[in-house]
Each structure stands twice: as structure tokens, then as C-alpha cells.
Amino acid sequence: MKLISTVRQRAFGLALLSILFVLLLAGCQPVPIPEAATSTPPPPTPTAAATSVSAQSAATATPSPGVERTDALAPEDTAPPSRLSIPAIGMDVPVVPMSWRVADVAGKRTTVWVLPDDALGWHVNSVGAGAAGNLVISGHQLLGDALLAPLALGEVVVGQEIHITDTDGNVFVYQVSEVSEPIEISEDPAAEENLDAEMTAQSGTPRLTLITGWPDFSSTHRIFVTAEFVGAQP
């Protein structure tokens, strides 16, 4: 009986040691890191950036003090734009009438705009500042002074005011209503022409359209910003 008791005690001791050994190994195992925690998030698109500052957009959803709500002017009563500013991001840049040149695009002879390097370019076939119609302005986000880089960086969001000063010194206020997702530049000239025609189309609705490339380190896509006419500064 004494021998059996001793064997049982030894067996119990070995079992206890085995359990402790397993627990020790389990405690030494590395803790897995979720894949999402180790991945790098992609850069925000303009829409994502606008969502992240929705509170700011809501705060600027009404015109700032000093802006008088007025009707848009008849196109024949306006002057060309000379400056564009976005107070919310401290942007203030010159605007000049754009020229164009004849070019061969995919075997088709056509005209293309020539963007200035040190200013934004006003499409002279669009309306003047504060007019009933579509005021269209383009600019570089990469080349030259890259004056529209803030658009490519997602700094321009819905609700912000855009001030357009004309050559007579009048200031007209527009409010951003839409920032498009980056649109890939098509290799099909017809598709590009259709997109341009859609975004620069004229109508009686007073608005401002800004056009630039994306991202800020390349030019594989384009971004369009639409702003609705609010009024003029007295």
C-alpha cells in the first residue's frame, strides 16, 4: 500500500509540473497585431477631407458678415476676374485671361488652353465675375507656382467662401457646394471633350467652376470645384 501511495504521489507531481509547463509556454507566446493596425491608410481624397472637417463646413454654411446677398449681373455688365481668394485657408492669388494654341490631339486638330505658371487662368469664353452663368477658372497644382495645390491637397471643402475680385475692384462671393472626387484623365479625346463640355457648360445659374489636376505630385486625375453665387461685398 505504501508503494502504491508513493507512485500516485509521483504521478500527481508529474502531472502538476506538466500543467505548469504548458501554462508557462502559453504565457510566452507573442500577441498578434491586427492587420489594420499595421497598415498605412491611403491619402484622403477631397471628399474624405471634406468629411473630416464637417464641423468647419457647417460653421461656414452661411455667408460671412459684410457680404450682401445680391442677384447676379447680366454678362454684358461684368468685368473679367483679376484675383481669387479663399479666406478660410489664407489663399489669395491673381487671375488672368487665358490664351490658347492650336494642337494635334489623337490626329485631330483642335485648340487647347495655355495655363499661366504664375496665375490662375480665366476661360475667356465663360462669363465675367458675378455674372449669371458659369465663371470658369483653371490652374496648375504641380507646375509653375502650383497655385491650386490646395485643391489637390483637400484643403478646399464644401461651405467655404471663394471671393472673386474683378478688374474694376468689385468683390463677388461664391460658396463651395461640391468638390468632385479625382476623375482619371481619359486617353479618349472624345471622353475628355465631353467632360469639359459638361463642367464648363453655360446656363442662367450663376456659379464658379475651378479646375485643376490631382494629386499634388503628379497629374493623372482632375478635380472640379463648384461654388454657387452668394452676392457682393458692399
SS (H, E, C) 11-31: HHHHHHHHHHHHHHHHHCCCC
> Is there a single domain that holds both residue 128 and residue 15?
no
> Is there a single domain that holds both residue 33 and residue 57?
no
> Is there a single domain that holds both residue 154 and residue 188?
yes
Determine the 3-state secondary structure of 104 from DSSP: strand
> Is there a single domain that holds both residue 91 and residue 50?
yes
Question: CB-side exposure of 38: number of CA atoms within 13 Å?
Answer: 4
What's phi and psi for 158, nearest 5 deg? -60, 135
Question: Which pLDDT score is estimated for 77?
Answer: 95
> Is there a single domain that holds both residue 210 and residue 180?
yes
**Look-up of cell digits 461654388:** 227
> Is there a single domain that holds both residue 140 and residue 208?
yes
Question: Which pLDDT score is estimated for 67?
Answer: 86
> Is there a single domain that holds both residue 50 and residue 21?
no
Q: Which residues contact 48 (CB under 8 A, 6 or more apart)?
A: 154
> Is there a single domain that holds both residue 135 and residue 22?
no
Say how many domains are in the chain.
2
CATH number for the domain that contains residue 178? 2.40.260.10
Question: Which pLDDT score is estimated for 122?
Answer: 97
> Is there a single domain that holds both residue 171 and residue 96?
yes
> Is there a single domain that holds both residue 18 and residue 123?
no
Range of 29's domain?
A: 2-38
Q: Which residues contact 199 (CB under 8 A, 6 or more apart)?
A: 136, 209, 211, 224
> Is there a single domain that holds both residue 123 and residue 207?
yes
Q: Over its length of 234 residues, how does the chain's per-residue pLDDT go in tens digits?
A: 443 444 344 544 444 444 433 333 333 333 232 222 222 233 333 433 333 333 333 334 466 777 888 899 999 999 999 999 999 999 999 999 998 888 877 777 878 889 999 999 999 999 999 999 999 999 999 999 999 999 999 999 999 999 999 999 999 999 999 999 999 988 777 787 888 788 888 988 999 999 999 999 989 999 999 999 999 998
Q: Please tell me the pTM assigned to this model.
A: 0.71
The whole-angstrom separation of Cα 225 and Cα 116 is: 19
> Is there a single domain that holds both residue 6 and residue 81?
no
